[in-house]
Amino acid sequence: MSKINPFKPNNPVSSEMFAGRHKEIRALEKGLYQTKNGFPSNILITGERGIGKSSLMNLFKHLAIGNISTENGFLNFIAVNVVVSDRTSLVTLIRLIERSISRELGKVETVRSFLAETWSFVQRIKLMDSGLDKADATDEADIVIDEFAYSLAQTCTRISNPQKGEAAKDGIVFIIDEADNACPNLHIGYFFKAVTEMLQQHGCEKVMFVVAGLPDVVEKLAKSHASSIRIFTHLSVKELSFSDTKYVLERGLLKGNEVNVEQTTMGDFAKDHVATLSEGYPHFIQQFAYSAYERNTDGEISVEDVFEGAFNEGGALDSIGSRYYAADYHSKIKSDEYRQVLSIMAENMSDWIKKSEIREKFTGDDQTLTDALKALTTRKIILKNASKMGEYRLQQRGFALWIKLFGSRPKK
Ligand X SMILES: Nc1ncnc2c1ncn2[C@@H]1O[C@H](COP(=O)(O)OP(=O)(O)O)[C@@H](O)[C@H]1O
Contact region for ligand X (CB under 6 A) — 52-60, 127-135, 167-175, 315-323?
A: 52-60
Nearest distance, CB of residue 18 and ligand X, angstroms:
5
- Please tell me whether residue 21 binds ligand X under the rule CB under 6 A: yes
Q: Which residues inside 109-138 make contact with ligand X, applying CB under 6 A?
A: none
- Name the residue with the smallest CB distance to ligand X: 52
Q: How far is Cα 54 from Cα 165, in angstroms, rounded to an integer?
A: 35
Among 399, 362, 360, smallest CA distance to 379 is for: 399
- Please tell me whether residue 5 binds ligand X under the rule CB under 6 A: no
Q: How far is Cα 348 from Cα 404, in angstroms, rounded to an integer?
A: 10
Nearest distance, CB of residue 115 and ligand X, angstroms:
31
List phi, psi (to 5°) of 150. -65, -45
Contact region for Mg ion (CB under 5 A) — 54-62, 90-98, 324-332, 351-359?
A: 54-62
- Please tell me whether residue 55 binds Mg ion under the rule CB under 5 A: no
Give the x/- contact pattern for ligand X in 229-258, rule: CB under 6 A. Answer: -------------------x----------
Q: How far is Cα 189 from Cα 225, in angstroms, rounded to an integer?
A: 5
Q: Which position among 41, 54, 70, 278 is part of the footprint of Mg ion (CB under 5 A)?
A: 54
Nearest distance, CB of residue 329 and ligand X, angstroms:
18
Q: What is the DSSP string of 242-268?
A: HHHHHHHHHHHHHHHHHH-SS--EE-H
- Please tell me whether residue 35 binds ligand X under the rule CB under 6 A: no
Nearest distance, CB of residue 49 and ligand X, angstroms:
5
CB neighbourhood size of 319 (10 A)? 17
- Please tell me whether residue 293 binds ligand X under the rule CB under 6 A: no
- Please tell me whether residue 52 binds ligand X under the rule CB under 6 A: yes
CB 328 within 8 Å of CB 381? yes
Q: How far is Cα 111 from Cα 236, in angstroms, rounded to an integer?
A: 38
Q: How far is Cα 63 from Cα 77, in angstroms, rounded to an integer?
A: 9
Binding site for ligand X (CB under 6 A): 8-9, 11-13, 17-21, 47, 49-55, 248, 282-283, 286
